């Protein structure tokens, strides 16, 4: 499994499990809080195409954004590795910029994508340990990531992610499980997901639904993901 640096412009399947047999999510409020933190820490640097939250693990299909940077007015914004400090994350001013022009400006820094996921996991672990009156590591480390560089694989990963609850016997169809992006795609409500791009991979919404009604070869996809 790849643990290489996340690169801008690339698609990744990102997933991870709880450490030591723990649960990540127990009640609806836990799922909702994770999604709130996800929007805070990940949405500024990544476009999300599919997601699924299971009680002890999660799956994401994301594309790391290009031509983005953050501006800071105080060196205390930064960690030693040059990444933005989690405590002052809300003070960061995000901007889309020509990265080739950033090198000459000390006031502009390119995000370290891995650090954003670390902030997400650390913030959620702090919340869940407080909520459950527990302590210790919550997520396995490092988090798993698989580079996706083929449109057919993109489609297969969407099907895999949405069918994960079916595979684990939580339901018989993705429609029945509330904590995936499947419901966002069949709804007419506005969404931050890249709806048109994903439906385009399936040619139409009708075909999107048809392919989600078919059996997904989970084992073959899992073997490929672990390569």
Q: Which domains does the chain have, with CATH numbers?
A: 11-65+116-225 (3.30.70.1290), 68-115 (no CATH)
Residue 97 has pLDDT above 70, yes or no: no
pLDDT at 147: 94
Distance CA 194, CA 123 (A): 26
Residue 136 has pLDDT above 70, yes or no: yes
Question: Residue 165 — pLDDT band, cuts 50, 70, 90?
Answer: very high
Distance CA 113, CA 131 (A): 27
pLDDT at 214: 87
- The full 3-state SS of the chain, as one line of letters, equals CCCCCCCCCCEEEEEEEEHHHCCCCCCHHHHHHHHHHHHHHCCCCEEEEEEEEECCEEEEEEEECCCEEEECCCHHHECCCCCECHHHHHHCEEEECCHHHCCCCCCEECCCHHHHHHHHHHHHHHHHHHHHCCCCCCECCCCEEEEECCHHHHHHHHHHHHCHHHHCCCCCCHHHCCCECHHHHHCCCCCCCCHHHHHHHCCCHHHHHHHHHCCCCHHHHHHHHCC
Q: Which residue has the higher pLDDT, 200 or 69?
A: 200
Q: Give this prediction's pTM.
A: 0.83
- CB within 8 Å of 218: residues ≥ 6 apart: 160, 163, 167
pLDDT at 12: 96
∠87-138-174 over CA atoms, to 5°?
Answer: 105
pLDDT at 35: 96
Q: What is the mean pLDDT of residues 22-44?
A: 95
Beta-bridged to residue 11, according to DSSP, are 63, 148
Residue 103 has pLDDT above 50, yes or no: no
Q: Which residue has the higher pLDDT, 94 or 98?
A: 94
Percentage of residues in the chain having pLDDT higher than 90 = 59
Summarize pLDDT for 171-194 with one digit per residue, the tens. Answer: 999 999 999 999 999 988 778 888
């Amino acid at each position: 499994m790849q643990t290489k640096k996340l690169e801008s412009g690339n698609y990744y399947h990102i997933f991870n499990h709880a450490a030591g047999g723990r649960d990540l999510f127990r009640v609806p409020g836990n799922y909702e809080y994770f999604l709130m933190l996800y929007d805070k820490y990940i949405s500024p640097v990544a476009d999300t195409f599919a997601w699924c939250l299971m009680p002890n693990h999660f799956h994401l299909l994301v594309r790391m954004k290009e031509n983005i940077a953050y501006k800071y007015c105080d060196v205390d914004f930064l960690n030693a590795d040059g990444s933005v400090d989690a405590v002052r994350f809300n003070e960061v001013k995000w901007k889309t910029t020509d990265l080739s022009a950033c090198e000459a400006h000390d006031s502009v820094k390119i995000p370290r994508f891995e650090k954003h996921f670390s902030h997400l996991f650390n913030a959620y672990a702090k919340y869940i340990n407080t909520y459950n009156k527990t302590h210790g590591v919550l997520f396995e480390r490092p988090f798993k990531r698989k580079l996706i560089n083929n449109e057919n694989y993109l489609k297969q990963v969407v099907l895999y992610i949405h069918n994960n609850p079916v595979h684990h016997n939580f339901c018989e169809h993705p429609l029945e499980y509330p904590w995936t992006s499947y419901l966002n795609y069949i709804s007419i409500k506005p969404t931050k997901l890249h709806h048109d791009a994903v439906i385009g991979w399936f040619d139409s919404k009708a075909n999107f639904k048809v392919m989600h009604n078919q059996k997904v070869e989970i084992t073959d996809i899992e073997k490929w993901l672990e390569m």
